[in-house]
Amino acid sequence: MIFNLAATPRELAISLIILMTVFIFVRALRSKGRKQVSPPGPPSFPIIGNLLQLGDHPYLTFMEMRKKYGDVFLLKLGMVPVVVVNGVEMVKQVLLKDGEQFAGRPNMHTFSFLAEGKSLSFSVNYGESWKAHKKIASNALRTFSKAEAKSSTCSCLLEEHVTEEASELVKVFVDLTSKNGSFEPRSAITCAVANVVCALCFGKRYDHSDEEFLRIVKTNDDLLKASSIANPADFIPCFRYLPLRIINAPREFYQALNQFIGKHVQDHLTTYDKDHIRDITDALINTCHNKYAATKTATLNDDQIISTVSDLFGAGFETVSTCLYWSFLYLIHYPDIQAKIQEEIGRNIGLRPPRFEDRKFLPYTEAFINEVFRHVSFIPLTIPHCTTADTTLNGYFIPRKTCIFINMYQVNHDETIWDTPNLFRPERFLNENRELNKSLVEKVLIFGMGIRKCLGEDVARNEIFIFITTVLQQLKLKKCPSVELDLTPTYGLTMKPKPYQLQAELHPLRSLST
């Protein structure tokens, strides 16, 4: 026996040391064994991993894999291990509860060209500098995107510019219908939304026929057509040198966008006047030049100003234009829903221009917008995350620098949250008093959540509301007779509907307001 009542103090000490050593060794083995339990997942091929198993719609493939492997499972995309996260509780743990441990970004080839790798949204470096950078960007965006922020120095308020561009979009729709009988609305929508972002960031708008402006819009379309969340160049390094469109499109787009934004930022640096802050770019420059502010908080250099404007440009451009493109398709596919929205507009605001504050008076319209977000889930996966430290998730060990995919589409179609999730039904967001159910709205995932949540959510929601209400206040949208509409998305960085035609008739609300 180790313990003997007659043992000497020396023997007792040796016995205690041996016992403690064995205890520590056993506990270390158990702990190591626990840490080494990796998430389950499908077998993979050499070099390409599971890339060929993703199919045309990876988010749906992930939902099928979830049935076998659970909410958290492991894939190999090319040479890179990727953990896929489904289920609202696991998603909340990754983005909220343990957000710091999952707040990194993987070093991906596709996004390395955005603002020459200095992008806030795609930055792989998460830390105090990143937090200060995000705070500066958030403050600048908030200053020019709130209706109550009007002052003599703020000539570029979001509400004013959205209202102007929405009215212009109505005219474009009418002209296109008059000339062609029907039209494909994507280009008009994209130009209108891009003009709002340009006004917000640069204090100017472009004509829809401006060549420089249209080149950026077209390059963005080319990028989205050629790209996906599983670009092989991100996971198999040798692919980066192949002359393939899917490889080169991101480089071409980001270089064109960087040049476009860099030119405007340089113009602002030359013409900057601290007593006349014109737009977001001026606000960012002002922060950098304000010595008192710089002693209190971190500041930005000129390259970081360009990268921040690039982030805000992207955040306010693609999400809004894609949502509107889907919304008009749903409105002509479900004319009864369109009629309900127009009745609500006529009853509550008539023919006066809609404002941000009207959102609380139009709950059915808000419900429709949220149901488009949920049902389409046109951003099905978050931008990939990366672990900042060794951690665990759902009992599995996740090493530092592991790439994380978060399946927002699955959460938006989870049968434990949504009744008949594949059915498009705006009424699901209204309570028994026909008021907006805000707790249910919060369950919709389209802008992400937590640390890496999209900066532009409030801007996007307000902008989408104004565009939809202004168009439906003045126009009735119709599908072309005898043409079947296809709601199946085309997969990419954001999911777009297939091209469709619509017709626009004038003033459906005139009789309602008299």
Point out the annotated binding site for heme: 454
Could you write out the DSSP letters of every residue in 190-220? HHHHHHHHHHHHHS----TT-HHHHHHHHHH
Tell me which residue of 310, 308, 301, 297 sits closest to 260, measured CA to CA.
Answer: 310
CA–CA gap between residue 316 and residue 171 (Å, rounded): 22
Tell me which residue of 381, 406, 466 sits closest to 90, measured CA to CA.
Answer: 406
Instruction: Supply 41's token pair.
Output: 């997942």
Contact 332, 478 (CB under 8 A): yes
Question: Which residue positions form the known binding site?
Answer: 454
Could you write out the DSSP letters of every residue in 463-505? HHHHHHHHHHHHEEEEEPTT-----PEEPSSSPEEPP--EEEE
Three-state DSSP state, 71: coil
SS3 per-residue string spanning 412-452: HCCCCCCCCCCCCCHHHHECCCCCECHHHHCCCCCCCCHHH
Instruction: Supply 207's token pair.
Output: 């004509």
Residue 7 CB contacts under 8 Å (≥ 6 apart), including other chains: 15
- Most distant CA pair in the chain, distance: 108
Residue type at 74? L
CA angle in degrees (0–180, nearest 5) for 466-167-468 = 30
Tell me which residue of 278, 283, 265 sits closest to 141, measured CA to CA.
Answer: 283
Instruction: Note the residue count of the chain.
Output: 514
- Count CA atoms closer than 13 A to 414's CA, side-chain side: 20
Contact 40, 47 (CB under 8 A): no
b/e string for 413-435 if b means 16 or more Cβ within 10 A? bbeeebeebeebbbebbbeeeee
CA angle in degrees (0–180, nearest 5) for 331-205-378 = 35
Three-state DSSP state, 115: helix
Contact 250, 223 (CB under 8 A): yes
Could you write out the DSSP letters of every residue in 74-95? EEEETTEEEEEE-SHHHHHIII
